């Protein structure tokens, strides 16, 4: 199953962002530190080409710090780009965020030439919380579900700094299936776009490889073997947590929701779901598949 989610209000957001970018100096893209590449919207990437970018790896307190350092190095090598890891409660990084934004466009300062910053990101990644924190007051709606912000807002951070908040933007087409599952696990796609059990199984596939100890500790499983299948592991977790229906049937919906929530809230520990080298492999394979699909379409069209 490939997860897709691009509701109607995102088309409106796409047009608004296209128009606004003409007058923007810096694009701050808020990413989920646990899935930095999967939470980069290719649509935003294409629309903002040529603009200075500050990539904020949010929720770094929930991510594997060693992997986060790899991602910071990866993004900081990109042209006209700065990267910074921030936590869910990032008041101590507000000054650094502004400093890095000014560094990227040093010629924009003063009331006659205000620094114009657009804050973007996929749904439920923490954009609104970031803006409220920067301004020191609640000016935008926040929530733990995708699609809370639906309209553009202009906010004044200082006399010479203007902020533009935008609705969360996803991929118009998620071509990397691994990204779809990760976005679903993080809560960045709508609930009707995925199956909880499939997402939980995909999540367990990855956790068994890299975070077996965290799984064992969280669910009090002695001598957990990474060779156990994810289906067997989900059943074992259900039995351990009492997710049992009448007549002894496993409640896979309940245990799947538990696994996903334990990841989202950090109850499993500090976990990252992708590394730069992994992401590049997934992306290249996805592009090859898309090229092959296009080739087959063209062959069918020419044979008619």
pLDDT digits (tens, 9 = 90+) for 249-296: 999 999 999 999 999 999 999 999 999 999 999 999 999 999 998 899
Does residue 211 sit in the same domain as residue 138? no
Residue 131 shares a structural domain with residue 200 = no
Identify whether residues 104 and 202 lie together within a single domain.
Answer: no
Quick check: helix, strand or coil at residue 121? strand
Q: Report the domain count for the chain.
A: 2
Q: Show the domain range for 258.
A: 195-273
Q: What is the mean pLDDT of the chain?
A: 87
pLDDT at residue 5 greater than cutoff 60 = no
User: Same domain, yes or no, for 145 and 224?
Assistant: no
Query: How many Cα atoms within 13 Å fall on the side-chain side of residue 83?
Result: 22
**Is 231 within a domain?**
yes
Residues 221, 137, single domain; the answer is no
Q: Kindly give, in sequence order, each residue whose CB lies less than 8 Å from that of residue 196, ignoring residues fewer than 6 positions away.
A: 253, 256, 257, 260
12 & 157 share domain? yes
3-state SS assignment for residue 6: coil
Question: Residue 303 falls within a domain, yes or no?
Answer: no
Q: Are residues 38 and 86 in the same domain?
A: yes
Same domain, 76 and 153: yes
**Does any domain span residue 120?**
yes
Phi, psi of 83 (to 5 degrees): -135, 145
SS3 146: coil
pTM of the model: 0.87
> Domain check: are 161 and 200 in the same one?
no
Rounding to the nearest 10 degrees, give the CA dihedral for residues 35, 37, 41, 47: 150
**Residue 135: how many CB atoms within 10 A of its CB?**
16
| 23-82 tens-digit pLDDT | 899 999 999 999 999 999 877 777 788 899 999 999 999 999 999 999 999 999 999 999
Exposed / middle / buried, residue 9 (Cβ in 10 Å: 0-12, 13-18, 19+): middle
Q: For the domain that residue 17 is a member of, what is the CATH number? A: 3.40.50.300
């Amino acid at each position: 199953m490939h997860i897709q989610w691009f509701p109607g209000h995102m088309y409106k957001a796409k047009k608004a962002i296209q128009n606004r970018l003409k007058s923007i100096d810096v694009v701050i893209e808020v990413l989920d530190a646990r899935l930095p590449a999967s939470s980069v919207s290719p649509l935003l990437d294409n629309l903002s080409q040529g603009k200075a970018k500050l990539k904020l790896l949010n929720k770094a307190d929930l991510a594997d710090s060693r992997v986060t350092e790899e991602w910071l190095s990866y993004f900081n090598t990109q042209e006209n780009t700065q990267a910074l890891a921030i936590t869910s409660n990032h008041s101590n990084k507000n000054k650094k965020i502004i400093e890095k934004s000014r560094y990227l466009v040093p010629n924009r300062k003063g009331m006659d030439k205000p620094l114009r910053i657009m804050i973007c990101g996929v749904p439920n990644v923490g954009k609104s919380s970031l803006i409220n924190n920067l301004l020191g007051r609640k000016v935008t709606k926040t929530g733990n579900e995708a699609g809370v912000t639906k309209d553009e807002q202009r906010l004044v951070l200082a006399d010479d700094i203007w902020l533009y908040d935008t609705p969360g933007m996803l991929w118009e087409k998620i071509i990397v299936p691994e990204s779809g599952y990760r976005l679903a696990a993080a809560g960045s796609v709508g609930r009707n776009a995925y199956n909880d059990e499939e997402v939980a199984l995909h999540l367990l596939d990855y956790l068994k490889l890299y975070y077996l100890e965290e799984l064992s500790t969280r669910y009090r499983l002695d001598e957990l073997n990474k060779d156990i299948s994810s289906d067997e592991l989900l059943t074992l977790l259900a039995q351990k947590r009492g997710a049992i229906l009448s007549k002894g049937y496993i409640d896979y919906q309940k245990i799947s929701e538990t696994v996903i929530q334990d990841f989202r809230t950090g109850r499993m520990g500090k976990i990252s779901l992708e590394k730069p080298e992994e992401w590049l492999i997934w992306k290249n394979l996805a592009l090859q598949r898309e090229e092959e699909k296009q080739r087959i379409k063209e062959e069918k069209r020419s044979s008619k």
